[in-house]
Structure 1
Amino acid sequence: MPSLEYEFTYRAALNPLIDIGAGPYGNRIVGEVIGGDFSGPRLKGKVLSGGADWALVGADGRLRIDVRLQLLSDDGAAIYLAYYGILEFNEKMQQALAQGGGTEFADHYWRTNPRFETGHPKYAWMNHGVFIGEGRMLPGRIAEYRVYRVS
């Protein structure tokens, strides 16, 4: 039976969301990442600016997450992070985004499946693992995720 092993927590600060509007695939919103940090037992460092979530809000009230961003470990390793996921865009989440407030992990269903790429030998284990994440909002438009490796 697989189990989950905690790897790290990361926080990504976001610019105000850009509402692209209703298109052929749903209502697109973009959340630009402007920085952040990550820390866990095996690695820590910074979330770099330049990434974003290119999410779609469906008629079912769920947000289809589509994130790509860059991490830089404290020892200089560049790590690419991409993930899809589902966020229940419920009243608590909408209120947090509108007012700059926070949510708790139990307030909504917010799950992701992170994938990592790096050429740094110390972090090669990230290239070969299966990971899941759970998210919440912190005050000030900061998305926080706990990331686990499936063993």
Structure 2
Amino acid sequence: MRTLLYISPLLLFISTPFQATAPINTAVNAVANTTASTTTIELNKYLGGTQGKLKDKSALIFKFGNGNPNNTCSIITTDNYLRHSKNRLENINLSEPHFYFDCEWEGTYYFLSNRYRTYAEVIIKQPDSQFPMSMHIEAKLVSLTGERANIISGDISLRRKSN
């Protein structure tokens, strides 16, 4: 049997060839699901927006939270992607370079990854005579230690309320 050791600056993988059977895979999946903790993040407040850069292109940054100044999530999207998105921003496993979503929550940084199953989806609801523009957010993110975060929100008005 040959064991391969891959070393990179950030990750260490040990790979051993083996023949898996269905019961072993099920057991491995059950262990993986029970060892990683999951945090649910409920966003309910728009904290404001700024301009910035994403991949050296002009971008908009929207910040959201729950009232605790230490807990924030950010949507970063290029102007062009936002204009042509048809009111739906989506990034699955870092497949979209013009839209990014991350959170700093209870001291843990959560982000999109191409190594784990992650995604972020933002539905933009255009304003009408009775309601201001709003965003509905759903995401599954991961931390550097493998912790998972499920992010949810109702329709959050983009009208910033004074404190």
Please state which structure has a larger fraction of its residues in strand.
1
TM-score w.r.t. length of structure 1: 0.45
TM-score w.r.t. length of structure 2: 0.43
Larger Rg: 2
**Higher relative contact order (Cα pairs below 8 Å, separated by 6+ residues):** 1
